[in-house]
Structure 1
C-alpha cells in the first residue's frame, strides 16, 4: 500500500550508495544473500528471546534488501538476481512469525495463520507477475524491477512495520498477527479483482 509512495523518498539515497558499491565490485546477489543470512539470524535471535538483537537484524536485512536493488539498478538488473531477491524476501518473511512461534508456544497458531497468509499473498503476487509478463505488461510504480510488481494492501513496508511491532510489543503478537493475516487475505482478493479487470480478454 505504501511501497510506491515511499520509493521517491528512499530510492535517491539508496541509488547513490548502490552506485558506489557497484563501482567497488559489490554485486546485488552478494547483498541479497548477506541480507538473507542476517534476516534468518534475526529470526534465530527472536526465537531465543533476544528481541533487541532480532529487531536490529531485521532492520539490517531490509537495508540490504534496498541496497541490492540499488546495486542491480547500477549494474543492470538480471533475471537470476530477481529470482534470488524474491526467494530471499519470502524466506525472511516467513521466518519471523515462525520465530515468535518458537519464542512462545501461545503464539504458534497465530504464527502459522500468518505464514499461511504470506503464502497466499506470495502466490497471488507471483501468479500476477507471470501473467503480466506473458502479456508484455510493465509497471514502474515500485521502481525498476526485473519482473512485474503488482500493488496491494499488504506490501513490504507494511510487513516490516508489523515485524517491528512484534519485536517492540511481543505481548501483542497474537492480535497483530491475526489482524495482519486478515489484511494479507484482503490483498489476495484485491489482487484477484485487479486480475479480473486487467487480464480480461
Structure 2
C-alpha cells in the first residue's frame, strides 16, 4: 500500500548512488546476491537476540534491494535479475520471522508460524497473477518499471520492512506484532485473489469479443 509513496521519495537518492556504483563496473546481480547474504545474517543474530545488529543487517539488505533495481535500469534489466530479486526477497522475509522463532521458541513459534503461513498467501497470489499477467500481456500502471506485474495490496514491501523494524526495536512484542501483521496479510491475500479473478475474467472477455463479432 505504501510502496508507491516510499519509492517516490527513495528513488532519487538510490539512483544517484547507483550511478556511482555503475561506473565501477558493479553489476546489479552482484548487489542482489551480496544483499541477500547480508540479510541472512539476521537469522543467527536474531536467534542470539542481537536485535540491534539484526536491524543493521536488515537495513543493509533493503538498501541493496533498492540499489540493485536502479543499477539494473542503468545497465540492462534481465529476467535473471528480476527472478533473483523476488525469490531472494521472499526467502529473506521468511528468514526474519524464523530468526524470531529461534530467539524464543516457546513464546514466538506459534505467531511466527502464523505469519509465515500468511506470507504463503500474499506471495502465491502475487506471483501466480504475475504469470498470467505476462501470458495475457497485462501491464501494471502503478509499477510500470518492475520486471513483472506487481499486484497491489495492504501489505507490500514497505509495510513488511516497517513491521520487521518494529520487531527488532520491540522484540518483547513480537508475538502481538506477528499476529496483527498475519491478519493484514490474510486480508491482502483475499483482496488480491478477488482483484486477480476480476482482472483475468475481464481479460478473457476482451479476448473473446472479436471472435464473437466476426
TM-score (normalised: structure 2): 0.91
Q: Which has the larger radius of gyration?
A: 2
8 A Cα contact 1:14 1:70, kept in partner? yes
2:68 equivalent to 1:68: yes
2:153 equivalent to 1:152: yes
Structure-2 residue corresponding to 1:97: 97
Which residues in structure 2 correspond to 1:41-60 (within 5 Å)?
41-60=41-60
Report which stretch shifted further, 107-116 or 17-26: 17-26
8 A Cα contact 1:36 1:92, kept in partner? yes
CA RMSD of aligned residues (A): 1.0
* Structure 1 residue 194: Cα displacement: 0.8
Structure-2 residue corresponding to 1:27: 27
* Structure 1 residue 6: Cα displacement: 1.8
* Structure 1 residue 18: Cα displacement: 1.2
Structure-2 residue corresponding to 1:83: 83
* Structure 1 residue 142: Cα displacement: 3.0
8 A Cα contact 1:100 1:111, kept in partner? yes
Tell me, in whole angstroms, the C-alpha distance in 2 between the residues paired with 1:134 and 1:113: 32
Report which stretch shifted further, 2-11 or 134-143: 134-143
- Per-residue deviation, residues 82-101 of structure 1 (Å, max 9, x unmatched): 00101110110000111010
4+ residue segments displaced more than 6 Å: none
The alignment partner of 2:26 has SS state of coil
Cα distance change of structure 1 residues 140 and 76 upon mapping to structure 2, 3 Å threshold: farther
* Structure 1 residue 189: Cα displacement: 0.6
Aligned residues: 201
Report which stretch shifted further, 92-101 or 134-143: 134-143
Tell me, in whole angstroms, the C-alpha distance in 2 between the residues paired with 1:16 and 1:90: 27
Tell me, in whole angstroms, the C-alpha distance in 1 between the residues paired with 2:132 and 2:10: 29
- Per-residue deviation, residues 111-153 of structure 1 (Å, max 9, x unmatched): 1111111121110000111111111011252351111111110
Q: In structure 1, list runs of 5 or more residues that go unmatched.
A: none
Structure-2 residue corresponding to 1:36: 36
8 A Cα contact 1:32 1:64, kept in partner? yes
Q: In structure 2, list runs of 5 or more residues that go unmatched.
A: 205-214
